[in-house]
Structure 1
Amino acid sequence: MGERYFKKSFRSFNTRQHQTIDLIAVLSREPHSIKKLCVLFEIPRSSFHYRLKHRGVTKPERALLRQKVVDIHSRSRGSAGARTISGQLNQAGESVGRYKAASLMKEVGIVSKQPNKHKYKISEDVSKIAPNRLNRQFDVEAVNQVWCGDVTYGVPGVQH
């Protein structure tokens, strides 16, 4: 039997380059050559070798940013998301966009926990303040017999 080649469709994995390089590193332990795997996955060999060489290396600037992200997140009691964190980092003089803040959060393993939306309880009891005399019958026979009002709960950030 001749050499066996994988089908080109294996490149259709929806992965990023570093994940593909990690896959090539795992497959290269088998009797497949790195050159053939890089051609198959359309990854330059120089990128493959660069990634292997710098795999565990962390930059001190990035580590400092990660620590700042953790501090901001903990000060907000876990509610700060990527937008809030990037805004606070920018105010502190760091040039960090929301996508970079999101990747820093992912590296550290923190997720924004927003409080649940408030749900208004529909009461089953009869009102203790005023009884429901209309019972949703709004047609009245004369003027000034029935007065009606509406209580609207204000939602922050929403204009009525």
Structure 2
Amino acid sequence: MVCSAFGIARSSYYEHRRSRFRIDVERLEQRAKVNALFTQSRSSAGSRTIMTQMQDEDYEIGRFRVRRLMSEVNLTCKQPVPHTYKQATVERPDIPNCLNREFDV
């Protein structure tokens, strides 16, 4: 009754129910490869980088598929931040100001 209400064949409904329990071997291989490439890059590779690496190894895969696989494994790209140097905000009273620090920039 529900299938006829939505205009779907009963065989399609039962095929979909059966397909939920099938294991997609190709997807598991791709997920393992994405995870391996991500760990090789020390968590710095994003979906575009992993996509090009997999395409170099003769995988037919797109960026959005790689992004979906990364989200399934909970992989997040972490780019290293450049080193930040501390700025001296307070003048040190224990160091004498011999030059008066009157410099022209």
| Fold shared, TM-score > 0.5 on shorter chain | yes
1:82 matched to 2:43? The reply is: no
Provide the identity percentage: 29
Instruction: State the one-letter code of the partner of 1:70.
Output: N
Distance in 2 of aligned mates of 1:96 and 1:124: 51
Structure 2 stretches lacking a partner, 5+ long: none
Distance in 2 of aligned mates of 1:87 and 1:58: 26
- Residue pair 2:34, 2:50 contacting (<8 A) in 1 also: yes
**Paired position in structure 1 for 2:30:** 65
Alignment: residue pair count: 99
**Paired position in structure 1 for 2:3:** 35
Structure 1 stretches lacking a partner, 5+ long: 1-32, 135-145, 149-160
Distance in 1 of aligned mates of 2:73 and 2:40: 16
Larger radius of gyration: 1
Secondary structure of 2:43's counterpart equals coil
Instruction: State the one-letter code of the partner of 1:81.
Output: G
Which structure: greater helix fraction?
A: 2
Instruction: Give the TM-score normalised by the residue count of structure 1.
Output: 0.49
Moved over 6 A (4+): none
Instruction: State the one-letter code of the partner of 1:44.
Output: I
How many angstroms does 1:65 deviate by? 0.9
**Paired position in structure 2 for 1:52:** 17
Higher RCO (CA-CA < 8 Å; seq separation 6+) = 2
RMSD: 3.0
1:132 matched to 2:101? The reply is: yes
Distance in 2 of aligned mates of 1:133 and 1:54: 77
How many angstroms does 1:95 deviate by? 1.6
Cα displacement string for residues 101-124 of structure 1 (whole angstroms, at most 9, x for unaligned residues): 011112222222233565554321
Cα displacement string for residues 122-141 of structure 1 (whole angstroms, at most 9, x for unaligned residues): 3214498x76315xxxxxxx
Q: 1:103 to 1:124 in 2, by over 3 A?
A: same
In the TM superposition, what are the counterparts of 1:81-160 in structure 2 within 5 Å? 81-116=46-81, 121-126=86-91, 132-134=101-103, 146=104, 148=105
Distance in 2 of aligned mates of 1:50 and 1:116: 49
